[in-house]
Amino acid sequence: MTKKRRHRRNNVNATQKATLNKDAAGSEEVGDRLSKLPNDILLNILERVDTLDAIRTCILSKRMMKLCTELSQFFLSCSSIPGHNVRTNSEYVRTNSAVAHVTDNILSTKSPEITISKLKIRFILMQPDCYTIGKSVARTMATQKVGAAEFEIITEKIHKKCSPADLLDHAKQFNDFFSACLDAFAGLKRLWLRNMRFGESDIPNILSTCKLLESLHLTNCDSGMNSVVQLEHAKLTELEVKYGKFEIVELTCLPKLQRVSYKGWFNSHKGPLYFGFVPQLSKLRLTKIGTRPTRTLELSQLLDNVPHIGNLHLDFQSEKIWVLPESPKLLRPVLSQLQQVNLDNLSEGCDLAWTMFILEAAPSLKELCITVLDHWCNMVMRDKEF
């Protein structure tokens, strides 16, 4: 019996070795095929994938390794959000450290003659990795031109595992990081933050520092329960807010703002948004699970300062309709430029005649898309999984 077991083990080892040899041969074959391509095509391919994957690919060939120094677009990511799949937190820590190390290595050795057209870094807010990334990006911005730089910052805990104390702690960690790397944030074009409860002046302070910012995403962020935030920025063109406990987000002065999306705002008496000076705003998307306390919105009031809205997307996600039908006479001044309307997840019993008030008030309308939600319970469960 001992001999049979040893013989079987030898067969398994031989099979594993053959598989490894086959995989190695396959990698070499792929490497050979890639290395035969012209440099400009190779660079185009490498700039379309995660930079860590591009580096792994370049290791296959000395010629391809030289191409790493010629990349003009970089996307460095710690992969998925912690807690969203089977990977352990220790794996995320190692990946995050790798992102920080590679960012520092690539940016410090890159030739300043090649302009960085795009730099996107997705990383977890933890020391010392985020400081390494911030300092590296700041040094690069000081010595060479960087076209579009983006930070997507993830917290170690996902929102459903965050206590109010965790949200405050995340904001403190971010503020410390932000203060230590002001030069990096001053050069960003896009910023995405998650799971932070800021102080009253923190978000305006971020905007005043990030003078080049064009896109801001806030997911599960706020300045406290029933808080009010006022946003002013000269160059911001896109704003996306998801969840959080703001009573109202006041878009006080955003002269370049074109697109706004707000999902899952907190039930309040003031409504989700106030539009001040937003002369270029043309696209608005509102998504909300309507419940009994949800305040009904009047579009004539909400859009009173937005005369050029061209694309309106309303996603109800439940049985409750939170938009009040109004007289075309009241709505026509704010919907006169409207060309596209999406009404998503209307309840199954909703009378389609309800939509007529929009049709009658929008003389320039070219496209109307309506979807009906047939099962509210399924929708609620999907939302809770976020």
Domain extent listing, the chain:
38-71, 284-385
81, 154 Cβ separation under 8 angstroms:
yes
Please give the pLDDT value at position 8.
Answer: 45
pLDDT single digits (tens) 166-192: 999 999 999 999 999 999 999 999 999
The stretches in the chain having pLDDT less than 70 are 1-35, 57-66, 69, 79-89, 292-294, 319, 349, 351, 374-386
Please give the pLDDT value at position 86.
Answer: 42
Please give the pLDDT value at position 162.
Answer: 94
Please give the pLDDT value at position 24.
Answer: 43
pLDDT single digits (tens) 192-201: 999 999 999 9
Tell me, letter by letter, the H, E, C secondary structure of the chain: CHHHHHHHHHHHHHHHHHHHHHHHHHHHHHHHHHHCCCHHHHHHHHCCCCHHHHHHHHCCCHHHHHHHHHCCEEEEECCCCCCCCCCCHHHHHHHHHHHHHHHHHHHHHCCCCCCEEEEEEEEECCCCHHHHHHHHHHHHHHHCCEEEEEEEEECCCCHHHCCHHHHHHHHHHHHHHHHHCHHHHHCCCEEEEEEEECCCCHHHHHHHHCCCCCEEEEEEEECCCCEEEEEECCCCCEEEEECCCEEEEEEEECCCCCEEEEECCCCCCCCCEEEEECCCCCEEEEECCCCCCCCCECHHHHCCCCCCCCEEEEECCCCCCCECCCCHHHHHHHHCCCCEEEEEEEECCCCHHHHHHHHHHCCCCCEEEEEEECCHHHHHHHHHCC
Q: What is the pTM of this model?
A: 0.83
Please give the pLDDT value at position 64.
Answer: 67
